[in-house]
Structure 1
Amino acid sequence: MNTSPQLPPLPDHRAPRRHIARELVGLFLIGTGTATLLCVTYAAAPLLAVGIMGLGLCAGGAGTLFGSPLLPQAARVAVGYVPFGVGLAILTFLGWLVSPWTLLCALVLGCGLWLSAKEA
């Protein structure tokens, strides 16, 4: 009976580099595609492109705030509240450009959603 301990095989030292390279290429392609799409949309309809950017900032900020509660306070402000606030400011400006009544309707809608989401 052989009782010598068997060491597990060493992992390939190139595997993490491949994974990192794959992630970086994917992020580069996502960023390039998003920027190109926004530029083309801005050329066709500037208000639509700015609205999409505002929605994206709001969604990203809110997702960060609700998705990762364990972040330090400084990171929550920088990564959550700032993009959310900028996105809301953009959407408010666009609403004002369309019609001031848009802001009132959005406020009523937001209050209704907030009240209906409250637990008893």
Structure 2
Amino acid sequence: MNTSPQLPPLPDHRAPRRHIARELVGLFLIGSGMGALLCVTYAVAPFLTLGLVGLGLCAGGAGTLFGSPLLPRVARVGVGYVPFAIGLAILTFLGWLVSPWTLLCALVLGCGVWLSAKEA
């Protein structure tokens, strides 16, 4: 039975730097992979790529607005509302290219989801 007291290892002063470096490398690889994937998809089907970009911007903007704690007004505009509005503009443009009736159907669908999600 070993009763000698052992001190816990001291924290490495380089650990935060390694953590930040690993995060930055991961974000770089994610950005590079997404950029390459969008380029390849754009070569095959440009409208599909624009639709994916629009959906991604809408989801990112809405996720920032509704998922995160309250942000300062400048951050909410820059990180939430602007990407959401750009994504909606792209999706509206693509809907108009398909058929103007697509926009009316999407508006009716959106109103229905909004009304059914409201609490009484």
TM-score, scaled relative to structure 2 = 0.91
1:22 deviation in Å? 0.9
Runs of 4+ aligned structure 1 residues displaced above 3 Å come to: 7-10
Unaligned runs of 5+ in 2: 1-6
2:13 maps to a residue whose letter is: H
Distance (Å, rounded) in 2 between the aligned partners of 1:41 and 1:99: 23
**Residues 62-101 of structure 1: per-residue CA shift (max 9 Å, x gap):** 0000012421011101110000000000000000001101
In structure 1, list runs of 5 or more residues that go unmatched: 1-6
Partners of 1:78 and 1:69 lie apart in 2 by 15
Report the counterpart of residue 19 of structure 1 in structure 2. 19
Aligned to 1:100: 100
Matches within 5 A, 1:49-60: 49-60=49-60
Identity %: 86
- The residue that corresponds to 1:39 in the other structure is 39
- 1:8 Cα offset (Å): 6.5
Q: Deviations over 1:1-49 (max 9, x none)?
A: xxxxxx8653111211211111111101100000000000000000000
Q: Which residue of 2 aligns with 1:112?
A: 112
Aligned partner of 2:10 in structure 1 is 10
Taking only aligned residues, the RMSD between alpha carbons, in angstroms, comes to 1.5
Q: How many residue pairs are counted as aligned between the two chains?
A: 115
Aligned residue number for residue 3 of structure 2:
none
Distance 2:76 2:61 in 1: 9
1: CA distance between counterparts of 2:45 and 2:8?
59
Q: Distance in 2 between matches of 1:76 and 1:29?
A: 26
CA distance in 1: counterparts of 2:70 and 2:119, whole angstroms:
23
Matched residues in 1 for 2:45 and 2:9: separation?
Answer: 57
Give the 5 Å matches for 1:55-74.
Answer: 55-74=55-74
Distance between the aligned counterparts of 2:30 and 2:16, measured in 1?
Answer: 21
